[in-house]
């Protein structure tokens, strides 16, 4: 068993999660089984109750665990399915320690951070490492945070208990460029490494985020003052697409270094799937414009997996997807649909609360009436049903009881069992459920299957009392939960692509295996635009294969701060 611990220094949002994921991808390519997990020092039990302004997306695992969005990166870059044991917060650690204390499990001892809290953390490392060659553990936050100390102390102890060749500490740090001095500065990194060494951790590898190339003299300096060999100073500059990161790190020798540190004989195979992927990303034959209509549109990370899934579908369709972010509230202002003109497809992602819902309904109506491909995810399905009920079935005031408790036509309603629940945390319909598909439907054709499993995170459902009317009106139910007879997928027959799902397919899409529904949606969007632009787009793509500008920040949401983008006053 080998362990890699990933810490972060100087500032947050350096892309530690992506670094861990990309390293995992490289090690998997060498034939090692890899699992990645995250330790988060905050006191929430999980991020399920946090606002997107605080936390970005909540990523849902197959077993229903609500986790940090970094787990999305881990699942997208590596093949291992993750479960709730791969996500640990201080809140969970303390909850467990306190429960044990109440049970008398500590046999009269004084319960302390060392050893009781640290033991709890170490145990999670051991449990998660079962059956894999390499476990990568990312520690959230930045070195020097008070909250992070018990975790770092636990890692120090753990490393001491293992053999010297079994643990690698990898520190992701910032090497800023000071324009006034015209230099890259190493001092912040020196100081964050000094902080780690103070608590007994000597990093083996430094992954240095930097805007400029790190030359030999800067590498020497980092090596000398941080006490790491020069070849363990890994430069990590911004990449156009996050899926180019594995190759960028490989070129710096990161995976080779790690296998050498572990004394493993696992050479890089000839076929490099990540290099192949990077070539495909950089040579798209088409472009397509997909509008995402949401209320957290200004945040980089709120719809992370949705944006990534659309990118994967673009790769699968040999197209570069331009995501146009549309604020649902802007559509509520008069003449708002102008914002939707020229879009090749419209996607309405998940959401909670009534702010912006009327704007989303406007978008769904526009897509239905103008035959623009529409794809609704979770709330996006509920929106499609409300819109159809109001404007096609003429059910005045049709709504979800989430937005209007007194609606005369509650086409979306809370399940009976949900009505009794008081606690907000981990009480939604969560995780993977079966869905039976109607043969011959668009959904069944896209999945090429009769039964599938998808992940859920919602409290409300389509009200079965209205299903007959909806179907007779032309909104077909093409997927149901067979055990509980719940609507899972709806689609319109006479429309190029109008499909919405009650689940979150975005949690199962990967760059190397795009999700079939996303792929079908982007394909439909591409088809729609063909009469107008395909010839032009083709010649353009030929003349300029590298469509994304180097260093274009907007195309790398991963490196942006999920907290920095938090506006001061907005209703959640
Ligand atoms: N707010 C809706 C519900 O709870 C939709 C949730 C979502 O989109 N994830 O059912």
- Tell me if 507 sits within 8 A of 531, measured CB to CB: no
**Which of 9, 3, 522, 533 lies closest to 261, judged by CA?**
3
Asked whether the bond before 553 is cis by omega within 30 degrees of 0, the reply is: no
Output the CA 499–ligand 1 centroid distance in Å. 17
- pTM, whole model, 2 decimals? 0.89
Equal CATH topology for 2-277 and 284-528: yes
319-331 burial: b if 16+ Cβ within 10 Å, else e: bbbbbbebbbbeb
C-alpha 400/C-alpha 395 separation (Å) is: 13
Task: Pick the atom of ligand 1 nearest to 461's CA.
Answer: 10
The whole-number pLDDT of residue 49 equals 81
Tell which residue, 395, 396, 400, 432, has the closest CA to residue 414.
400
**Is 350 a pocket residue for ligand 1 (Cβ < 6 Å)?**
yes
**Given the CA of residue 350, which atom of ligand 1 is nearest to it?**
8
Return all residues near 320 (Cβ < 8 A) that are at least 6 apart: 284, 286, 287, 288, 314, 541, 547, 548
Which SS3 state, helix, strand or coil, does residue 59 take? Answer: strand
DSSP code of residue 513: B
Is 171 a residue of the active site? no
- CA 320 to ligand 1 center in whole angstroms: 29
Of these residues, 73, 378, 409, 458, which one is catalytic?
A: 378
Give the mutation target among 350, 462, 486, 487 for probing the ligand 1 site: most ligand atoms within 8 A of CB. 350
352 within ligand 1 shell (Cβ under 6 A): yes
Domain ranges of the chain: 2-277, 284-528, 543-571
Q: How far apart are CA 155 and CA 143, in angstroms?
A: 13
Using a 6 Å cutoff on CB, does residue 381 contact ligand 1?
A: no
- Give kind and range of the element (H or E) at residue 113: none
With both helix axes pointing from N to C terminus, report the angle between 357-369 and 379-391 in degrees, rounded to the nearest 10: 70
- Cα 461–chain centre separation: 24
Is-contact 478 485, C-beta < 8 A?
no
- Measured by CA distance, the residue closest to atom 3 of ligand 1 is 458
User: Which residues lie across from 436 on neighbouring strands?
Assistant: 451, 480
Instruction: Check pocket membership of 138 for ligand 1, CB cut-off 6 A.
Output: no
Is the CB of 457 inside a 6 Å radius of any atom of ligand 1?
yes
CA-wise closest residue to 478 among 521, 520, 435, 432: 435
Q: What is the pLDDT of residues 82-111, one digit of tens each?
A: 999 999 999 999 999 999 999 999 998 999
Decide if 436 contacts 480 (C-beta within 8 A). yes
Residue minimizing CA distance to atom 1 of ligand 1 = 352
402 pocket-lining for ligand 1 (C-beta < 6 Å): yes
* 379 within ligand 1 shell (Cβ under 6 A): yes
Nearest to 259 by CA among 168, 324, 331, 135: 168
Q: How far is the CA of 467 from the centre of ligand 1 (A)?
A: 19
Q: Whose CA is nearest to atom 5 of ligand 1?
A: 379
Give the bridge partners for 334, in sequence order: none
pLDDT at 552: 34
Which CATH number is correct for 2-277, 2.40.37.10, 3.40.50.300, 3.30.1180.20, 3.40.50.12370? 3.40.50.300
Nearest alpha carbon, ligand 1 atom 8: 350
Where the chain has pLDDT below 70, the residues are 334-335, 530-572
User: What pLDDT, on the 0 to 100 scale, is given for residue 419?
Assistant: 77
Could you tell me if 492 and 442 are in contact, meaning their C-beta atoms sit under 8 angstroms apart? no
- Name the CATH code of domain 284-528 (choices 3.20.20.70, 3.40.50.2300, 3.40.50.880, 3.60.21.10): 3.40.50.880
Of 387, 461, 488, 506, which one is the catalytic site residue?
Answer: 506
Q: In this structure, which residue's CA is closest to atom 7 in ligand 1?
A: 350
Alpha helix locations (H) across 240-303?
245-251, 254-262, 273-282
Rounded (5°) CA angle 535-541-542: 95
147 is catalytic: no
Per-residue CA distances from 384 to 196, 320, 345, 364, 467 (Å):
52, 27, 15, 6, 13
pLDDT of residue 418: 74
Coil, helix or strand at residue 251? helix
Which of 458, 486, 507 gets mutated to test ligand 1 (max ligand atoms within 8 A of its CB)?
Answer: 458
Whole-Å CA distances, 238 to 159, 312, 517: 31, 20, 30
Q: 194: helix, coil or strand?
A: helix
- pLDDT at residue 540 in the model: 52
CB 403 near ligand 1, within 6 Å: no
* Residue 194: predicted pLDDT: 96
506 in catalytic set: yes
Residue 531: exposed, middle, or buried by beta-carbon count in 10 A (0-12, 13-18, 19+)? exposed
How far apart CA 113 and CA 147 sit, in angstroms, is 12
Name the DSSP letter for residue 242: G
- What SS3 class is residue 89? strand
* Centre of ligand 1 from the C-alpha of residue 419, in Å: 15
- Rounded distance, CA 81 to CA 352, Å? 27
- CA 225, chain centre distance (Å): 35
* Residue 542 CA, ligand 1 centroid: distance in Å: 42
């Amino acid at each position: 068993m080998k362990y890699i611990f990933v810490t972060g220094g100087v500032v947050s949002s350096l892309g530690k999660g992506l670094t861990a994921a990309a390293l995992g991808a490289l090690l998997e390519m060498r034939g090692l089984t890899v699992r990645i997990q995250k330790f988060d020092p905050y006191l929430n039990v999980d991020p399920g109750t946090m606002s997107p302004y605080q936390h970005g997306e909540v990523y849902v695992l197959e077993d229903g665990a609500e986790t940090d969005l970094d787990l999305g990166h881990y699942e997208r870059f590596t093949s291992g399915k993750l479960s709730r044991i791969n996500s640990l917060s201080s809140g969970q650690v303390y909850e467990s320690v306190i429960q044990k204390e109440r049970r008398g499990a500590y046999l009269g001892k004084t319960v302390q951070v060392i050893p009781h809290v640290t033991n709890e953390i170490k145990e999670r490392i051991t449990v998660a490492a079962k059956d894999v060659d390499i476990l990568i553990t990312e520690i959230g936050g930045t070195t020097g945070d008070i909250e992070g100390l018990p975790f770092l102390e636990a890692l120090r102890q753990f490393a001491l208990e293992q053999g010297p060749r079994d643990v690698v500490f990898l520190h992701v740090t910032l090497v800023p460029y000071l324009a006034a001095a015209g230099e890259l500065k190493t001092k912040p990194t020196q100081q964050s490494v000094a902080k780690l060494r103070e608590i007994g951790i000597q990093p083996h590898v430094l992954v240095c985020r930097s805007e400029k190339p790190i030359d030999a003299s800067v590498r020497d300096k980092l090596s000398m003052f941080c006490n790491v060999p020069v070849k363990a100073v890994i430069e990590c500059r911004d990449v156009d697409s996050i899926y180019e990161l594995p190759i960028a790190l490989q070129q710096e020798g990161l995976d080779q270094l790690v296998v050498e540190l572990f004394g493993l004989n696992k050479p890089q195979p000839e076929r490099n799937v990540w290099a192949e992927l990077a070539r495909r990303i950089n040579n798209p034959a088409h472009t397509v414009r997909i509008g995402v209509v949401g209320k957290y549109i200004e945040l980089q990370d709120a719809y992370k997996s949705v944006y990534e899934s659309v990118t994967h579908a673009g790769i699968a369709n040999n197209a570069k997807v331009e995501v146009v972010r549309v604020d649902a509230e802007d559509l509520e202002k008069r003449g708002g649909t102008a914002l939707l003109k020229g879009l090749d497809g419209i996607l309405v992602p998940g959401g909670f609360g009534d702010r912006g819902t009327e704007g989303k309904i406007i978008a769904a109506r526009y897509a239905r009436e103008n035959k623009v491909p529409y794809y609704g995810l979770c709330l996006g399905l509920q929106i499609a049903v409300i819109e159809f009920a109001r404007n096609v079935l003429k059910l005045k005031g049709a709504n979800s009881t989430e937005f209007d408790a007194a609606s005369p036509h509650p086409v979306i309603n809370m399940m009976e069992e949900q009505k009794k629940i008081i606690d907000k945390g981990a009480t939604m319909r969560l995780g993977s459920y079966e869905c039976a598909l109607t043969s011959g439907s668009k959904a069944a054709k896209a999945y090429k299957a009769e039964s599938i499993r998808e992940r859920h995170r919602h409290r409300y459902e389509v009200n079965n009392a209205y299903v007959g009317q909806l179907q007779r009106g032309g909104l077909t139910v093409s997927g149901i939960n067979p055990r509980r007879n719940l609507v899972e997928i709806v689609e319109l027959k006479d429309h190029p692509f109008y499909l919405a799902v009650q689940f979150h397919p975005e949690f199962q899409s990967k760059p190397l295996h795009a999700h079939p529904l996303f792929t079908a949606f982007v394909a439909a969007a591409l088809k729609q635009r063909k009469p107008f632009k395909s010839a032009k787009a083709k010649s353009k793509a030929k003349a300029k294969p590298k469509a994304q500008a180097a260093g274009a920040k907007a195309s790398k949401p991963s490196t942006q701060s999920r907290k920095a983008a938090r506006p001061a006053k907005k209703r959640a």
